[in-house]
Amino acid sequence: MIPMWWLAVIVAIAAVAGAYATWTAARVERLHRRARAAETALIAKLDDRAETVLKFVGNPGFEEVVALALSVVAVPASTQRQRELREYAENDLTHALRELSRNPLWTDDLESANRRVALARQIHTDFVRDAVASRSLRVAVLLRLRHRLPRPEYWDIDDPVQ
């Protein structure tokens, strides 16, 4: 028969292992939620920047940028294909805005919108990096969290502040 203190040790080890597994699973799920929230915030900041550009409708020299902003607003990011199209449109808009930054009509609104996009992009990239790294933790692999949680994706867009 097993001595009683061995049983207590086994129960304690099982409790610690269970607590660690629960904590790790909650951490992985929390990082994935934060990555999704950061992506939502990034899309909102990208939409805000496009709306700021649309204020320049009718100003000479802004025709191409306004058309690009309209194409950005028109493309949702629901599916993978739409997301890729949105990334291309955002990159085109960023390049066009860089060319216009020397224009005297350039405003602080556009500059601050670009800074907010850059900050939201960096925050999103950091959360995605952490979420992707958490998927390879031993406990996450054993609990098959990588199969249950969708893998967060990076947004491949240029940094608007350079």
Q: What's this model's pTM, rounded to 2 decimal places? A: 0.83
pLDDT of 115 reads: 92
Distances (CA, A) of 45 to 61, 97, 107, 141, 160: 24, 15, 17, 34, 12
In the chain, where are the structural domains located? 21-148
Distances (CA, A) of 106 to 17, 41, 52, 65, 99: 58, 25, 11, 12, 11
Distances (CA, A) of 12 to 9, 16, 18, 22, 23: 5, 6, 10, 15, 16
Q: Are 49 and 117 in contact (CB under 8 A)?
A: yes
Task: State pLDDT tens for residues 67-107.
Answer: 878 777 777 777 888 888 888 888 888 888 887 777 666 77
Task: State pLDDT tens for residues 15-69.
Answer: 999 898 889 888 999 999 999 999 999 999 998 988 888 887 777 777 778 787 8
pLDDT of 37 reads: 96
Indicate the SS3 state at residue 136: coil
